[in-house]
Amino acid sequence: MATIKEVAKDAGYSIATVSRVLNNDPKLSVSDETREKIYEVADKLNYKKKMVRPLVKNVVFLYWLTDKEELEDVYFKSMRLELEKLAKKFNVELTTHKITDGIERIPTDIEGFIAVGTFSEKELSHLRKLTMNGVFIDTTPDRCNYDSVRPDLLQVTKRAIDFFIEKGHKDIGFIGGTYHNPNTDEDDMDIREVTFRQYMQEKGLLKEEYIFTHRGFSVDNGYHLMLDAIHTLGDQLPTAFYTAADPIAVGCLQALNENGIVIPNRVSVIGINNISVAKYVSPPLTTFDIDLSELCKNALQLLTEQIVENRKIIKTMYLGPELIIRKSTN
């Protein structure tokens, strides 16, 4: 790719003149012929203007997960690290603020925020008083006021079921987690379970006894839920399980292996997230790859649009994960 210096040499004008023309300096007075000559040479040499991102200050990253929740699901830790890395490339000064710090301690002069985790209505109300520039990753808790970017888990669930059906499975189970609702202090059904129930009902394949859930998305949770399924169902164990997250799937594989249940000949398993360990477990896990870099990149782009370009319309963005087929399915 050509430099301004090379364009100036070929066009026969000074570097300063070429630079001001290519950067559309409104105060520069040159003839149309000069402009056309510089543009022509720049195009011939494949010159591309370097984009300089404006500095965006006073942005907080609201990491609304406990240390235990992060430890149990590497997905969120990976997301945090990726966001902090990309913020530097986007020229965004990002300060991490954890749930243990409390919502009231967020500085009142923030320009915007990016948030991950579960927020109560009281906390959302507090955020609305601070700023209307905000993006939620992985959830959409306030779609009327804030942007969000998240994996399309509804379509992922349907694709997992369709994949199993195409492979000849009719007895399909679900193993997943529930979320704590801070407004009601009760557990809420996850979108993956909601969609699983609806889509399996549409297919005429839903069996309530094949669904096992408990709060959390950890390996330990998956292990104990699969043990429960094995002991409860015995020979009636489904031939396939769709699991809500890779850590849960890893726990399921452990329980199946310990009980001598052959994977995938007797039971196939699909996970979500494509965490680093997924390719090394026994057998390697078939899973949907959620591109964390894309999630974080789009979140930063959305926030920059709000702060720098003063965009007011609300955007909700869904990204479609890719199915990575490995040996836990057949």
Query: Which 3 state secondary structure label does DSSP give 4?
Result: helix
Q: Are residues 140 and 248 in the same domain?
A: no
Q: Are residues 220 and 297 in the same domain?
A: no
Q: Are residues 22 and 98 in the same domain?
A: no
Whether 328 maps to a domain, the answer reads: no
The token pair at 126 is 């507090």
If one counts every other C-beta atom within 10 angstroms of the C-beta of residue 19, the result is 17
Whether 11 maps to a domain, the answer reads: yes
How many Å separate Cα 138 from the centre of its chain? 5
Q: What is the pLDDT of residue 26?
A: 73
pLDDT tier at 67, thresholds 50, 70, 90: confident
Q: What is the pLDDT of residue 50?
A: 63
Q: What is the pLDDT of residue 162?
A: 98
Q: Are residues 246 and 283 in the same domain?
A: yes
Residue 64 has pLDDT above 60, yes or no: yes
Q: What is the pLDDT of residue 54?
A: 78
Residues 6 or more apart whose CB falls under 8 angstroms from that of 142 comprise 124, 128, 136
Q: Are residues 137 and 87 in the same domain?
A: yes
Mean pLDDT of 133-143: 97
47 and 4 in contact (C-beta within 8 Å)? Answer: yes
Whether 247 maps to a domain, the answer reads: yes
CATH number for the domain harbouring residue 307: 3.40.50.2300
Q: What is the pLDDT of residue 47?
A: 85
Q: Are residues 36 and 92 in the same domain?
A: no
Q: Are residues 140 and 162 in the same domain?
A: no
CA 11 vs CA 26, 28, 42, 140: distances in Å:
21, 17, 9, 52
Rounded Cα distance, 271 and 100, in Å: 30
Whether 50 maps to a domain, the answer reads: no
If one counts every other C-beta atom within 10 angstroms of the C-beta of residue 97, the result is 20
Mean pLDDT of 50-60: 81
pLDDT per position as a tens digit, 25-51: 878 888 988 988 998 999 889 887 665
Q: Are residues 15 and 34 in the same domain?
A: yes
pLDDT per position as a tens digit, 189-228: 999 999 999 999 999 999 999 999 999 999 999 999 999 9
Q: Are residues 282 and 158 in the same domain?
A: yes
pLDDT per position as a tens digit, 223-280: 999 999 999 999 999 999 999 999 999 999 999 999 999 999 999 999 999 999 999 9
Whether 49 maps to a domain, the answer reads: no
Q: What is the pLDDT of residue 297?
A: 96
Q: To the nearest whole number, what is the mean pLDDT of the chain?
A: 94
Q: What is the pLDDT of residue 229?
A: 98
CA 67 vs CA 93, 158, 202, 261, 273: distances in Å:
24, 32, 39, 34, 19
Q: What is the pLDDT of residue 52?
A: 60
Rounded Cα distance, 101 and 136, in Å: 18
Q: Are residues 138 and 157 in the same domain?
A: no
pLDDT per position as a tens digit, 85-97: 999 989 999 999 9
Q: What is the pLDDT of residue 51?
A: 56
Rounded Cα distance, 251 and 220, in Å: 6
Q: What is the pLDDT of residue 148?
A: 98
Rounded Cα distance, 287 and 284, in Å: 9
Q: What is the pLDDT of residue 23?
A: 80
Bond prior to 264 in cis (omega within 30° of 0): yes
Rounded Cα distance, 252 and 224, in Å: 8
Whether 51 maps to a domain, the answer reads: no
For residue 245, what are the domain limits? 153-289
Of the given ranges (35-49, 125-139, 150-164, 285-299), which has the lowest mean pLDDT? 35-49
Phi, psi at residue 324, to the nearest 5°? -105, 110
Whether 222 maps to a domain, the answer reads: yes
pLDDT per position as a tens digit, 98-114: 999 999 999 999 999 99
Rounded Cα distance, 226 and 248, in Å: 9
**What is the domain count for the chain?**
3
Q: Are residues 62 and 130 in the same domain?
A: yes
- Of 113 and 20, the one with more pLDDT: 113
Whether 326 maps to a domain, the answer reads: no
Q: Are residues 130 and 212 in the same domain?
A: no
